[in-house]
Structure 1
């Protein structure tokens, strides 16, 4: 009985909810590949003119939120696993491109006012924040809220590893195989295979 229950929770239920997800979002500018599995039906909001593509053999945990606004795109490659509470937001003309075999930890946020690229086999730990937008603040006669945003893309090349609670600021490229230690704030580009920690 215990084995049957575990099989249901780990295999059959996520597969069944994957089927339900396909039905819920069929015809709504969302494409989902084969063998999609999820622990709960994700919240997906896609404006007219936007596209969300989810590859094959993708696994979602609970409470995933995906939002595509403006004329943006969100592309999730094959064999990607996304943990619970993750939020992917693309706006304007941004493209969020998550390549194959990427792992994204719980409650991480991809804030895509500009494009975000995550290279194949990269590991993004929990509570990571990838930020492509910053409020303007230089005009002293206007409040911060009135000054709009500046945007710049974020690129993680393949096989990068971001530790827990890392924040990556707009315009940053993290090179192939680089490692960023937990709680770091990345304000400068990181070379391939470099290991950094703290606040560069």
Structure 2
């Protein structure tokens, strides 16, 4: 099994593998171009975003700077917006639904490391996918940890650290995030 296959399957893998290093370098070069392209060059930016992400629609807007590991493991729905300084460590798949808005300096991290100090010291790591439903809003400086799933219509308060999954129609906030309000759809 290749290191890429292990990575995508959530198994321990070696990130220094030649193939993975080349894929990350390709993403870095695309990001460098995107982050240096004027916001006035809308069509050019949209083309660069399409080349970078695994899937997206035409109605997305990414403020620069934006950073990610691979890009191809990120899938966003229609009417997606992310503010300045978003970092998505897409070692595993990241799926974000339609009508989602991400505040400034948000981190979405699928990458994690073994608890065993020997494995960790040897540079091995693994990942857990993240899913964010439709109509979600992540406030500024939110952190989404590996393996989290957020349901539809979830609002995450600024500065929150989301360490577990949550259902639909909630406002969550805090460190670790907890339910603040329920039944937003009513």
TM range (shorter): 0.5 to 0.7
Which residue of the partner structure matches residue 150 of structure 1? 126
The 3 A distance-change label for structure 1 pair 182 and 169 is: same
2-side partners of 1:132 and 1:101: how far apart?
A: 23
Which residue of the partner structure matches residue 151 of structure 2? 175
Q: Please, what TM-score do these two structures have when normalized by structure 2? A: 0.65
Q: Which has the larger radius of gyration?
A: 1
Deviation at 1:145, TM superposition (A): 3.6
Q: Please, what TM-score do these two structures have when normalized by structure 1? A: 0.61
* Unmatched 5+ stretches in structure 2: 1-25, 27-31, 36-41, 177-186
Q: Which structure: greater strand fraction? A: 1
Which residue of the partner structure matches residue 98 of structure 2? 120
Which residue of the partner structure matches residue 135 of structure 1? 113
The 3 A distance-change label for structure 1 pair 110 and 96 is: same
* Unmatched 5+ stretches in structure 1: 1-28, 30-39, 44-56
Deviation at 1:90, TM superposition (A): 2.3
The 3 A distance-change label for structure 1 pair 78 and 196 is: same
The 3 A distance-change label for structure 1 pair 133 and 58 is: farther
Which residue of the partner structure matches residue 34 of structure 2? 42
Q: Secondary structure at the match of 1:103?
A: strand
Deviation at 1:76, TM superposition (A): 2.5
Determine if the alignment matches structure 1 residue 80 to structure 2 residue 55. no
Query: Using CA pairs below 8 Å that are at least 6 residues apart, which structure has the higher relative contact order?
Result: 2
- CA distances 1:24-67 after superposition (whole Å, capped 9, x unpaired): xxxxx9xxxxxxxxxx9416xxxxxxxxxxxxx77849xx9999
Which residue of the partner structure matches residue 89 of structure 1? 69
2-side partners of 1:146 and 1:66: how far apart?
A: 35
